[in-house]
Structure 1
């Protein structure tokens, strides 16, 4: 069997490690799917997504000179619809209510831009909280120093 980069094949998961999964491609060939190539979303535990014996579709990413085969499950799947990045406006919550930075309820993967916007928003809010708290502490310590003399 000829393994060409970009080719999509079927295989069977033969082993799971903390960094990826090994897939038997047949004819004595085995490749590895790195943890980052298992799903479009964040993968904390591979066993949440795959089990030994699962039949999976994989895309050949690289065939090394040493015979190592790099595979991807997420690239073998159809691409999820990406939001159009035309007129996007981010809205910041005006209230001091609880912040929810979890993924949407429908488990749809977030785009990089969405994750970056959430991170920036969270970072700005935390920095303003820190500055507000530090200003209050500086004011009280200065007034105590003035009373010592």
Structure 2
């Protein structure tokens, strides 16, 4: 039996998946509180399958904060960028600022979210535009091999295909026109 107070970042833990939601999976690691494995932390690259309820997983403690536990199933560094874009959408001013950008123009972007089996959210910067925009790149618009290596914070180049006003995000591609 573990206690939350004893958990250390990087500590290896094992547990049973008790629930899976859009944000990720909840794992009982025996600490009296389930650990959250966010979608971005389900494994290397773009997660293509949910964890199954009852499945036993091994991972590492990513963060312990305010009585909550986050864990990762990925290898490598435990450093993560704060996700200021989680749950955000583009405001009308940002949509308008991006409207004049031609669809064949490449823009700098950074992966700020991974969506199970579907694609990635990107924070896009454009010359002359004050605020970054939020875009979505579907799996079909990935370059070869990208899905297996993508991680939160990956720097990419994208083209904005259309401002998807209904979703308040931009549809993007990482492939040549």
- What is the TM-score with the length of structure 2 in the denominator? 0.44
Aligned residues: 96
Query: Equivalent residue for 2:54?
Result: 53
Q: Does 1:72 align with 2:79?
A: no
Q: Which has the higher helix share?
A: 1
- Taking the TM superposition and a 5 Å limit, the aligned residue runs for 1:1-149 are 1=2, 2-43=6-47, 48-65=49-66, 67-74=67-74, 77=75, 102=142, 104=144, 108-109=148-149, 112=154, 116=156, 119=158, 125-126=176-177
Q: Cα–Cα, structure 1 residues 68 and 50, in superposed 2: closer, same or farther, change >3 Å?
A: same
Q: Return 5+ residue gaps in structure 2 as ranges.
A: 78-139, 160-172
SS in 1 for 2:44: coil
Q: Which has the higher strand share?
A: 2
Residue 43 of structure 1 deviates from its aligned partner by 2.7
C-alpha contact (below 8 Å) 1:103/1:110 kept by paired residues: no
C-alpha contact (below 8 Å) 1:33/1:70 kept by paired residues: yes
Consecutive aligned runs of 4 or more in structure 1 exceeding 3 Å deviation: 100-105, 110-113, 122-126
Query: Equivalent residue for 1:90?
Result: none
- What is the TM-score with the length of structure 1 in the denominator? 0.51
Counterpart-to-counterpart distance in 1, 2:58 and 2:175: 42
| CA deviations over 1:14-35 (Å, ceiling 9, x no partner) | 0000111000001423111111
For the aligned residue pairs, the C-alpha RMSD in angstroms reads: 3.2
